[in-house]
Each structure stands twice: as C-alpha cells, then as structure tokens.
Amino acid sequence: MRAMVYHGPYRIGVTDKAIPAIEHPNDAIIRVTLAAICGSDLHLYHGMMPDTRVGTTVGHEFIGVVERVGPSVERLSPGDRVMVPFNVYCGSCYFCARGLFANCHNVNPNATAIGGIYGYSHTCGGYDGGQAQYVRVPFADVGPSLIPDWLSDEDAVLLTDALATGYFGAQLGEITEGDTVAVFGAGPIGLCAAASAWLMGASRVIAIDRVDYRLEKARSFAHAETLNFDETGDVVVDLKRMTEGLGVDVAIDAVGAEASGSFLQHVTSTKLKLQGGSPVALNWAIDGVRKGGTVAVVGAYGPMYSAVRFGDAFNKGLTMRMNQTPVKRQWPRLLEHIEAGYLRPSEIVTHRVPLEDIAEGYHLFSTKQDGCIKALVVPN
C-alpha cells in the first residue's frame, strides 16, 4: 500500500509499506476512503511530541470500508462503511467502563495518563495511523461504527475527531443558559467548539485568533464575535471590557501546544522544547474567565512541564476540566444535530489533498496558506 511516513520534524513523505495484517482475533483491516490532517498532527510534524519514531504513519481522523476481520469480530463484516474514533480502547477496563475511552488502561504501555491514539507517537501506544490506503484497527467490535446511509463521507470523517472534540470542549465548559463563552483558537476544533456552545445555551460566543480568514470562518460558520489578538492591546483586558469588567463565564482552550502570542513562550516550547507546549492560550483563558468560572482544555499538550498560571486559577476559584475526547461517547447526540441540520461540519473543509501530495497539504496547513482551515486526504 501507499502510506504517509514520518522522517523527522518537517520531513514527511509517501512510500510503499506492507498492507497491515490481522495480528489479533479482534482486529479489522480498514481500506481508508477518506482521512484528514488534524492540528494535533502538526505537533508531530513540528517535533513537539516525544517518541515520534521515523517510519511511523500519522493520522487519527479517518473513515473507510472493512476489508478483513479477525475471527472474534462479530459486529463488523467486510464491505461495511465505518467511521473510526481516534481513541484506541478496549471497552472493558476500569476507565472504559466509566466512559473514559481516551484513558483506556489496556492499550498503551505508557497508560499512566493517556490511552491509545492512532498515528500519534509511541507515547500514545505506537499505532500506525490512517493517512494511508489501509490501517489496522484493534478492538474492532468496540471502536468503529457503521456510517448511516444519510451521512456524507466528509461529515463522517470530521466526527472522528474535530467535531467530537469541539463538542466535548463545550461539554467540559458546563455551559448554562445565558453564558458568555470565549473560544481560544479558530481552527477546526475551535470552530466546532464555538458552534457547539450555542447548542448548550450560550448567549454570546467570542472566538480569538490572529488569522483573518479563520476569524471570518468563525463569524460565518459559528456565528461568533471575534477578536484578533494581533490587533488588540491585551486580549484579557478586551474580554473584561466586553463583559462589564467581570470576564467570560466559560473559556475553551482549543489551541494547545503551539499557541502564539508570546515570543518567549513560543521559543522555549516550540523551538527549545523546554516546555510541553506554549501555555499562552491557556493563561489567557485563566485570566480572561470570571472568578468562579470554568476553563475547558481540549487543545493538545505534551507531557512535559508548562508555565501555567495555576496561582491565578486557584485564587479565582476556577473549575478546570480537560481530557482527550472520548469520541464515540459524543456520536449519538452529534448525529442527531447533523441530521436535524444544526451542525454541518463539512463546511469547514477547505482543501482535499491526494495522499501522494500530503507533504504539500501539511505545508499549507502548517503555514496557514491559501485559506487552509481543514484539509482532507484522499488515499486512492
């Protein structure tokens, strides 16, 4: 098969790899029909995630058709059209039994924190991802779901991470009717979080970013007010001005490890790798939310130290909630919203890239060229 492979920071290519085999009776082999490049993939591309090994195939957002199944698989058959959550999980451990699929204890040797993720370094289990023509899916009776006939491929692939994670960010914020919500980052997950906030009762949604075309999409797709932090004197002061001096009720960090806005934080985290990520957006969220408010974090950070303003969070009495998304837990409600027309995730797709040209897709997305918000990868 043809597959994307990681050769080191900023160096990816497409090469021939063996089609994955059934390694366990519960495995399935999926022929990938559509994948996507996630903002979290850029953390790997930029060398931010430890133990990302040369030869790894990246990609945790993908859908496809079942090619083969192991002898113990009962719920899938060859020919089924399926979407696969980015979590690899067993479905039966202590954490899976409590719906914490992202924290499965049986799928990752480093599972003191995170469970397994497709194509996301050996810190997340070392599973090859879906930016390829085929992918092995463990625990095939647990993770994948049949795609409803009425659901388009482009909407389905966004359910495997971007939409589910944005929706989860709004859930973590525990938004109540009338709340003002600030979303830091107007990339795919931030856009989905902003759109989801309305469904949970927000009365105002404010999106913060520095890229004009992303802010325009926040206005058109998520109907949000916007702040460009390159054009404001102080994001926190502006949020206070917009909320009668109090701060927003809920702040959602949808940026994570590579937040801009501070030269020092950017250099120490993204260049010198002295932090697990630049905490600029998270610190703005902590300082921009009102006392007693809630900060939700769905932007990805590495496992190392980050210079977070925890003292401010403590003294303000904030509730902070965060995790990798338990994707499949979000699907029943999200499918209802999409079928009813309340959410159309495919509207954020701007580029469709053949697998052979994936290096160009990463470059466009990373450098924010050509209005790129969400790039899909077409394997065949």
What are 14's strand-pairing partners? 4
Query: What was the pLDDT predicted at 154?
Result: 98
Whether the predicted pLDDT of 29 surpasses 80: yes
Q: What is the pLDDT of residue 259?
A: 67
The pTM of this model reads 0.94
Q: Is the pLDDT of residue 275 over 80?
A: no
Q: How many residues are present in the chain?
A: 380
**Following CA atoms 149, 150, 153, 158 in sequence, which dihedral angle do they give, to the nearest 10 degrees?**
-120
Task: Decide: residue 112, CB within 10 A, 0-12 exposed, 13-18 middle, 19+ buried.
Answer: exposed
Q: What is the mean pLDDT of residues 172-198?
A: 97
The C-alpha angle with vertex 275 and arms to 270 and 276, in degrees rounded to 5, equals: 85
DSSP string, 29-53: EEEEEEEEE-HHHHHHHTT-STT--
What is the pairing mode between strands 225-228 and 204-209? parallel
Domains of the chain plus CATH, in order, are 2-161+326-378 (3.90.180.10), 165-322 (3.40.50.720)
- In this prediction, residue 86 carries a pLDDT of 98
Average pLDDT, whole number, for the chain? Answer: 93
The two three-digit tokens of residue 145, written as one number: 């779901």
The CA-atom distances, in angstroms, between 91 and each of 73, 133, 220, 239, 261 are 14, 26, 38, 41, 40
Strands 145-146 and 81-84: antiparallel
Asked if the model's pLDDT at residue 274 lies above 60, the reply is no
Of 83-92, 105-114, 366-375, the one with minimum mean pLDDT is 105-114
Q: Does residue 305 carry a pLDDT above 80? A: no
Res. 262 pLDDT band, cuts 50 70 90: low
Q: What Rg value do the Cα atoms of the chain yield, rounded?
A: 20
Give the closest residue to 92 by CA, choosing from 142, 127, 138: 142
pLDDT of 304 above 80: no
Q: What average pLDDT does the segment 132-144 reach?
A: 98
The token duo for 278 is: 């630049």
In the numeric block, the tokens 């957006």 are attached to 281
Predicted pLDDT of residue 183: 98
Which tokens belong to 328? 């499949």
- Helix/strand/coil for 224: coil
Three-state SS at 8 = strand
Min mean pLDDT across 35-39, 70-74, 106-110, 183-187 is at 106-110
Instruction: Give me 249's structure tokens.
Output: 């009720």
pLDDT band at 48 (very low <50, low <70, confident <90, very high): confident
pLDDT at residue 287, rounded to an integer: 96
Asked if 1 and 132 touch (Cβ cutoff 8 Å), the reply is yes
Other C-beta atoms lying within 10 Å of the C-beta of residue 343: 25
CA 74 – CA 77 distance, rounded (Å) = 8
Helices and strands (H and E) in the chain: how many:
11, 17
**Widest CA span of the chain, in angstroms?**
62
Of 232-241, 305-314, 356-365, the range with the lowest mean pLDDT is 305-314
pLDDT for res 180:
98
